[in-house]
Chain A
Amino acid sequence: MKEQLYSYLLMLGDNSMILAHRLSELCGHGPSLETDIALTNISLDLFGQVRNFFQYAAELKGGDCTEDNIAYLRTEREYYNCILVEQANTDFAHVIARQFFFDQFQYLQLKQLEKSSDETIAAIAAKSIKETRYHLRFSSEWMRRLGAGTEESHIKTQAAVDRLYPFVDELFTASAIEKALSDAGIAMDPGTVKAEYEQETKTVLEEASLILPDAAPRFAQGKQGMHTEQLGYILSEFQYMQRAYPNMEW
């Protein structure tokens, strides 16, 4: 059970961390000063949440395991984030759609985890959900603004939805660990919030004059450590300092 809990914490942390890294790539490159600040602030909140998950994971592991080892010193197959969050920044519509699809999921997930029988997970969830609620408000407002904005912003946002939505299905496919831990009252079985997710997402998209694509879900196994080539590029930059200067501290 302890080993499973450890892996579960890595999965929770990796989702937020890889997305936080993607957002941090936009620092100084946002389409406007306000959105630049917003995306990097969201990144900062996410990194803070990741630290809480990884500090707890390091404590469980014991020995000389630290949050930094966990974050920086794993190989690609040992990261368990979903494929959605590793998708490249391309244009602003993609950045916002990726954020919206994730925020909506994360909000529902944290709401469940607040009731986790594991006290530390419940405490981290109760802390994080306040921030995530704010992120969700930001990303869903931008979905409406872009989708119902100009002809061009609508076309670009619909294209982002068409491309990214097929990755959403992975979020709701429970891994063996999620199944085992949700039976124990620790984790959330993501299948249980799927209907609510679809309803909430549909409401925002309708207001944004956007439609959900009919396309079949993409086969994705990020939770099992199987990634797209995107993650390799992310990690080569993300891990550079620790690989070049082992054990360095900021």
Chain B
Amino acid sequence: MVREALQINNPEVQRALESVCDPEVPVLSIFDLGVVRKVDVLEKHVQIDLTPTYSGCPAMDTIAMDIMTALAEIGYTAKIKHVLSPAWTTDWISEEGRKKLEAYGIAAPRNQQVDKRILIGGASELECTNCGSTNTQLVSEFGSTACKALFRCLDCLEPFDYFKCLK
């Protein structure tokens, strides 16, 4: 969805940007994550609008640096602008990104309704990323990074991360 809206008429720049990933969830490229809002290529200079996932996410600085480096390697300079509006939502994670997350062992964000039920301690509808069982339980609303919560599977007993739904 986000990706289609982004027109980058420069395959070289496109490839370089696709190589940049979220340092904390390295299976997701910055396009999968939906944080790239606008790319303008003017000869050898690229202007990029980037939106943060969480206000305090330290990965944003690293991502900006990685973009500069990736573009410098192919001879481009870059200017990155952080934009807050419209605010990022987990809906902007691409379909492909969701699949990659699940394969990596992080449950992709579900819609708000399911999420609410999980957090007030009701039955969980989240499938374990290891065995697929829905017999799972929230361990902690907050996890190893700002974007994750921690679950465990009551069948295979494996813990797993859940990418929190942010809307």
- Which residues of A come within 8 Å of B, CB atoms? 33-34, 37-38, 41-42, 44-49, 51-52, 119-120, 122-124, 126-128, 130-131, 134, 137-138, 141
Contact = CB atoms under 8 A, between A and B. Distances in A.
Contacts of B89: 130
Contacts of B141: 38, 134, 137-138
19 contacts: A33-B140, A34-B139, A37-B142, A41-B146, A44-B56, A44-B146, A45-B56, A47-B56, A48-B54, A49-B55, A51-B55, A52-B84, A120-B84, A123-B87, A127-B52, A127-B87, A134-B166, A141-B119, A141-B120
Contacts of B144: 37
B113 to A, nearest CB: 14
Nearest to A34: B140
B55 A128 contact: yes
A45 B139 contact: no
**Range, interface on chain B:** 20 to 34
A38 B55 contact: no
Nearest to B119: A137
A90 to B, nearest CB: 22
Contacts of A46: 56
Contacts of B166: 130-131, 134
B84 A123 contact: yes
Given A51-B55, A127-B88, A131-B54, 12 more contacts: A34-B139, A34-B150, A37-B143, A44-B56, A48-B56, A123-B84, A123-B85, A126-B85, A134-B166, A137-B120, A137-B141, A138-B141
B86 interface: yes
Contacts of A123: 84-85, 87
A33 B141 CA distance: 12
Contacts of B123: none
A4 to B, nearest CB: 22
A134 B164 contact: yes
B167 A130 contact: yes
Top-3 shortest CB links A-B: A48-B56, A48-B55, A123-B85
B57 interface: yes
Contact of B55 (A34, A122, A127): A127
A229 B166 CA distance: 38
A34 B167 contact: no
B85 A49 contact: no
Interface string B127-150: 000000000000111111010001
Nearest to A130: B166
Interface of B: 52, 54-58, 84-89, 119-121, 139-144, 146, 150, 164, 166-167
Nearest to B148: A41
A249 B31 CA distance: 30
Contact of B56 (A37, A49, A130, A138): A49
A30 to B, nearest CB: 11
Contacts of A128: 55
A208 to B, nearest CB: 14
B82 to A, nearest CB: 9
Contacts of B58: 44
A34 B137 CA distance: 14
B114 to A, nearest CB: 14
B140 A37 contact: yes
A52 B84 CA distance: 9
A37 B144 CA distance: 8
Contacts of B167: 130
A131 B55 contact: yes
Query: Which of A41, A122, A134, A141 is most buried by chain B, counting CB atoms within 10 A of its CB?
Result: A41
B143 A48 contact: no
Given A47-B56, A127-B55, A41 B142 contact: yes
Given A37-B142, A41-B146, A48 B57 contact: yes
B55 A52 contact: yes
A46 B55 CA distance: 8
